[in-house]
Structure 1
Amino acid sequence: MHSVQNTLYVMTPNAYAHLDNATVRIEVERETKLRVPLHHIGALVCFGNVLVSPALMHRLADEGKSLVLLDNSGRFKARLEGPVSGNILLRQAQHRAALDTEFALTAARAMVAGKLRNSRSVLQRGARESADPGEAETLTSAADALAASLRAVPGAADLDTLRGIEGEAARGYFAALNLVVKPQARQSFALDGRTRRPPRDRFNALISFLYSMLMNDCRSAAESVGLDPQLGFLHAVRPGRAALALDLQEEFRSVFADRLALTLINRGQINAKDFDEREGGAVMLNDQGRRQVVTAWQERKQEEITHPLSENKMPLGLLPFVQARIFARTLRGDMQGYLPYLAK
């Protein structure tokens, strides 16, 4: 069990979360493991087979706190919330903007540009830190290819073309990412392209888990400012899909999740024993691995950065909330265009 920025994560299989007066109590095999005052909790996130009492569900809904259910691999399953709140005028502006082809394309271009810039910085850092000149050159070439993709973004005439540029750039990025892993860890963490459902190797399993947590934070960020998380601009709208959360996630994937994955691997904080292989070739983090990753994720979110727009220092975990606010200002017309977060 871990708590960060008012979010309580429950990962222990068969744990039972229930209400004890004004306190949330977590029990495992009838033994109390944690007590947290309800007013300290903004959201309850449960991994896998965690039991939640009806009384606690009702109280969370009454107080506007969300209950999020994820599967064992961290993939989003469901979210329980009370009545919809937020700014109806902002949501109306969002729906109008989604129907404005030029606005939607301009916003999507900015999101992709942010993703490519930040992905490039990961490869450039890998090239600088590489002890092998040949590998450094390969990483630099891959970073240059991302720069070429970045130059093509403003000329994308429609969303399909833009998604094609982004997809091709992502393939090149993931093909090079292996070289940022230290040589001694490559056998255990070989990345053979990006595989999702299910992940086919440990590296993919690790980043899929991190992306799930990041997406949940981006969804919370969108909702916190009154945006509709289902109505995206880069990602196509589909029933049950938090398309705007996926949009906001793009610029953070490499500098937030991928960098953390590389740090965990290269420092030996996570290794082969933290994963299980399933029938059919699927690879998943086991309970021990998930605990390691969630702890590292929380620590990463507490790290301070300086936002390039406001020049204010803030915890890294607040970035999705700041960017959601910037997107809301763009929709209202307070800003000329959306400005993604660009890591240094």
Structure 2
Amino acid sequence: MRKLLNTLYITHQEAYLSLDGENIVMLLDGKEAARLPLSNIESVVCMNYPGCSPALMGKCAEERIGLCFISPGGRFLARVTGQVKGNVFLRKQQMETFSDPERQTELIQNLITAKLKNTRNLLMRSRRDYPQTDTGGKLSRCIDLLEENQKKLLQEKEPEALRGIEGQSAKAYFDVFDSLFTQQKEDFSLSGRTKRPPLDLTNAMLSFLYTICTNDIASALECVGLDPYIGLFHTLRPGRASLACDIMEEFRALVERLVLTMVNLKIVQKSDFDKQVSGAVWLNDDGRKKVITAWQNKKNECVKHPFTKEKAPIGLFPYVQANLLAKYIRGEIETYPNLVWG
């Protein structure tokens, strides 16, 4: 198992990356600004416009170093991957499993159940720690709805009906999400989820972190031999890592809790964002650095995994879930153990 902790983030929009021997070199205005040995790097996330040299992209593909390009606003653009070296038999089993209606339904129910449990746990924790957030009983009503929808999931068999329950739950959740802010409430108000592009500060942070976390999950899936583009809950779409998006449902509450912490502790503020003429809101350079630092610190936290019962850095949890999914597909375990955060 390879560590997912040594991620290099390129936040300077005018930086250009090149290869020098076994080193990655960052150039600014044609001059070397920094260099690092590739042996110390697990993955590279680029938010720079000039991009990377073909030699560096080829080297990263050869060494299986993840290389992902996202826009400064956090929108996924592309991933560089090399020759597929995963287990072809596992990928064949993956397609067969995801094509089986009964097993597909079981997995979708499993993933959505984890998402609703994690969401409900987040709301219950906020209500317990900050009773004032439950003004008029909004949080309590949402908590009850999520509990009821968990029961409905077990009664439905059609994927579209399951997606409908998930959609209703997500809307109810984001309708109350901004009441969880105890500081900077005016600046970080949220009227609903907006994605492409994000139209407020909160959505900008959520989209940015969702993209980074999904990329980590896609890399983990590839490393255990699964195809991250063949999913089951998210429909197939060219260029979208659908399976990574599926597993991301288990990690969303982790991202959302981090966003709440950064806002309520005033780690990020309104000055860390830029509003575009189009109305889109992006994290600026300082804001991205703050969010990335907080995310890396979160990944380094050691907690007990609910299934393995072993302590591990949160940054390795995508690997754990990818391995468990592979074991389920191979028939080594009867049920995929979803990830529920305490």
Instruction: Give 1:218 shift.
Output: 1.1
CA distance in 2, matches of 1:4, 1:89: 25
CA contact (8 A) 2:98 2:231 kept: yes
1:186 aligned partner, one-letter code: K
Instruction: Give 1:134 shift.
Output: 4.8
2:152 aligned partner, one-letter code: A
CA distance in 2, matches of 1:204, 1:66: 26
CA distance in 2, matches of 1:269, 1:133: 20
Instruction: Give 1:36 shift.
Output: 1.1
CA distance in 1, matches of 2:36, 2:117: 40
- List alignment gaps of at least 5 residues for structure 1: none
Q: What is aligned with 2:51?
A: 51
> After the TM superposition, which residues 294-305 of structure 1 pair with which residues of structure 2 at under 5 Å, given as runs?
294-305=292-303
1:342 aligned partner, one-letter code: V
Instruction: Give 1:176 shift.
Output: 1.2
CA contact (8 A) 2:61 2:81 kept: yes
Q: What is aligned with 2:331?
A: 333
CA distance in 1, matches of 2:4, 2:233: 30
The 3 A distance-change label for structure 1 pair 31 and 142 is same
Q: What is aligned with 2:27?
A: 27
1:29-49, Cα deviation, whole Å (9 max, x unpaired): 344332211111222221131
Runs of 4+ in 1 over 6 A off after TM superposition: none
CA distance in 2, matches of 1:137, 1:214: 32
Q: What is aligned with 2:231?
A: 232
CA contact (8 A) 2:4 2:216 kept: no
Q: What is aligned with 1:159?
A: 159
What SS does the corresponding residue of 1:305 show, helix, strand or coil?
strand
2:249 aligned partner, one-letter code: E
What SS does the corresponding residue of 2:250 show, helix, strand or coil?
helix
Instruction: Give 1:21 shift.
Output: 2.1
**316-325 or 110-119, larger mean C-alpha shift:** 316-325
What SS does the corresponding residue of 1:185 show, helix, strand or coil?
coil
Q: What is aligned with 1:137?
A: 137
2:74 aligned partner, one-letter code: G
The 3 A distance-change label for structure 1 pair 93 and 14 is same
> After the TM superposition, which residues 154-303 of structure 1 pair with which residues of structure 2 at under 5 Å, given as runs?
154-182=154-182, 184-254=183-253, 256-303=254-301
Instruction: Give 1:136 shift.
Output: 8.0
Instruction: Give 1:240 shift.
Output: 1.7
CA distance in 1, matches of 2:240, 2:52: 24
Matched, 1:103 2:103: yes
Aligned length: 340
1:224-279, Cα deviation, whole Å (9 max, x unpaired): 1110111111111122221100000001101x110000000000000111111112
CA distance in 2, matches of 1:156, 1:187: 40
Query: Which one has more relative contact order, counting CA pairs under 8 Å at least 6 apart?
Result: 2
> After the TM superposition, which residues 306-325 of structure 1 pair with which residues of structure 2 at under 5 Å, given as runs?
306-325=304-323
CA contact (8 A) 1:12 1:50 kept: no
Q: What is aligned with 2:91?
A: 91
Q: What is aligned with 1:40?
A: 40
1:54-99, Cα deviation, whole Å (9 max, x unpaired): 2222222222223211111122111112211111111010010121
CA distance in 2, matches of 1:80, 1:274: 29
Matched, 1:17 2:17: yes
What SS does the corresponding residue of 1:173 show, helix, strand or coil?
helix
CA distance in 2, matches of 1:243, 1:34: 35
CA distance in 2, matches of 1:50, 1:131: 48
What SS does the corresponding residue of 2:306 show, helix, strand or coil?
coil
What SS does the corresponding residue of 2:278 show, helix, strand or coil?
helix
CA distance in 1, matches of 2:326, 2:304: 21
- List alignment gaps of at least 5 residues for structure 2: none
**267-276 or 234-243, larger mean C-alpha shift:** 234-243
The 3 A distance-change label for structure 1 pair 236 and 85 is same
CA distance in 2, matches of 1:341, 1:289: 29
How does the TM-score come out when normalised to structure 2? 0.95
Instruction: Give 1:146 shift.
Output: 0.7
The 3 A distance-change label for structure 1 pair 322 and 133 is closer
Instruction: Give 1:6 shift.
Output: 2.8
CA distance in 2, matches of 1:97, 1:131: 45
CA distance in 1, matches of 2:133, 2:43: 47
CA distance in 1, matches of 2:135, 2:257: 18
